[in-house]
Structure 1
Amino acid sequence: MRGRVLLLALPLVAALGACAPAASRTAAPPVQASTPVGRVSFYPAETGLTWSYLPEGEAAGGTPYTLRTLGPTVFAGQAVLATQLTGRGADQTWYRRVDAGGVRLLGFRKPGATVRLDPAWTEAPAEGAWRVGLSWAGESRVTVTSDDGQVQAQGTLRYRYDVQDRRRVNTPAGAFDVWVVTRQITDDVGGLVAGAQPQAQQLWFTPFVGDVRTPEGLLLTGRNFNAR
């Protein structure tokens, strides 16, 4: 029925376009979207923000990974913000709650599988909590489902974060004052998230910019917004 309605609407749209004055058709501004710099938050999550990354140590000019904020959506019955990473065959979307109290990951989706975390995985603390020596840890129940809703695996994810340093770094995207954080994660669901053995990963975070270095070793090379 919806397809029929759209087909019926097309002649009407064409007729209206034919009746419109030529000046009004040519003067219509292009459709554009932008994110005002003043709206970029401590943990940047505004719709339309994008970041580009390359593996650390790789020569410049390679095909980048692109991280973009898709905007508000619903995941596991809760209002969340979706962020998608694409490039070089990668396609993963994360679902988070982001506010002044921190960043919490409720789950993510890969091709063919959706991973739900309960309670949510705390990825970052409250805005005012950052300091060298800060640490936090927790565990989440992991449920992996296929596209048809069948449960494929269940288990536990454990994580720990330690803020080790604050220093200035130079990257292809510029110079940044970063918080240096070590993350250790492990899971018992076949390594879908981390693996049976604890993995120690380092990330660099800058307020109002985001991850300058991701836990996977991707280094920031560009973004479509300026920090405060």
Structure 2
Amino acid sequence: MLRASFFPGHGWLLLGLAALLGSCAPQQVAPGTVTANTSASGVSFYPYQTGLVWTYVPEGEANATPYVLRTLGPTIFQGQNVYATQLTGRGAEQTWFRNYDASGVKLLGFTKPGVTVTLDPAWQEAPATTAWKVGLHWEGSSKVQVIMEGGKVAASGTLKYQYDVQDQRQVKVGSATYNVFVVTRQISDDVGGLFPAAQQYWFAPFVGDVRTPEALLLTAKNFEVKR
């Protein structure tokens, strides 16, 4: 799962925060060598097992230097047991902390160098696995805090979100074909626009995001899905 915002592209009211949490820098960083391989039998509906790897490039770009997303496994975030997922590439570095259970996927927060963002209660990023269907709607709100290195709270407020599943269809990305749910996500907050107001992404069960909210397309992954 990659979401909220799946890759860093957040706009901030304060210039200092924008410098830390803004768009990816143009620096070119070669991704690390992928060595982990996970069998399809070990991948869940929302893939989060340790060692999974996905690569993405912006829609319309040549398949060159990608963003690389890796599942890091269990860890502790703000005193809670969570699962971590990290994005690197093109100067970007961001780690998300989530819980996965029968009710779906919840985001507790994320970090970038020198910055931690917390969400309370956790953001409901995805519903129960059995709930997916065209027309599905869910929404909620979370208290959000932006904490700088050293523990200073730079911003705090309320974030509201809502999701609508608009379609289910087959898409072809590169040489691969996926059956995806097309989802629109709308977000508002009172801390200067922490996330883009409206975005659309494509989610494929047992695969993850085929198109992220930031219009990044899946180019490869290190696991296969049983047909």
- Is the alpha carbon distance of 1:207 and 1:98 closer, same or farther for their aligned partners in structure 2, counting shifts above 3 Å? same
Matches within 5 A, 1:73-84: 73-84=75-86
Unaligned runs of 5+ in 1: 1-31
- CA-based RMSD of the aligned residues comes to 1.3
Runs of 4+ in 1 over 4 A off after TM superposition: none
8 Å CA contact 1:173–1:220 kept in 2: the answer is no
TM-score by length of 1: 0.81
Paired amino acid for 1:221 = T
8 Å CA contact 2:36–2:222 kept in 1: the answer is no
Residue of structure 2 in register with 1:29 after alignment:
none
Cα drift, residue 149 of structure 1: 1.1
Q: Distance in 1 between matches of 2:117 and 2:222?
A: 29
Q: Distance in 1 between matches of 2:154 and 2:87?
A: 23
Residue of structure 2 in register with 1:169 after alignment:
171
- Is the alpha carbon distance of 1:225 and 1:207 closer, same or farther for their aligned partners in structure 2, counting shifts above 3 Å? same
Q: Distance in 2 between matches of 1:119 and 1:58?
A: 37
Matches within 5 A, 1:111-126: 111-126=113-128
Cα drift, residue 33 of structure 1: 5.0
Corresponding residue SS for 1:183: strand
Residue of structure 2 in register with 1:51 after alignment:
54
Residue of structure 2 in register with 1:179 after alignment:
181
Q: Distance in 2 between matches of 1:130 and 1:143?
A: 30
Instruction: Show CA shifts across 1:178-228 (max 9, x none).
Output: 00000011222233x316xxx110010011000001111110000000113
Q: Which has the larger radius of gyration?
A: 1
8 Å CA contact 2:37–2:222 kept in 1: the answer is no
- Is the alpha carbon distance of 1:222 and 1:33 closer, same or farther for their aligned partners in structure 2, counting shifts above 3 Å? closer
Q: Does 1:194 align with 2:192?
A: no
Q: Distance in 2 between matches of 1:173 and 1:217?
A: 18
Residue of structure 2 in register with 1:107 after alignment:
109
Q: Distance in 1 between matches of 2:41 and 2:101?
A: 16
Matches within 5 A, 1:65-144: 65-144=67-146
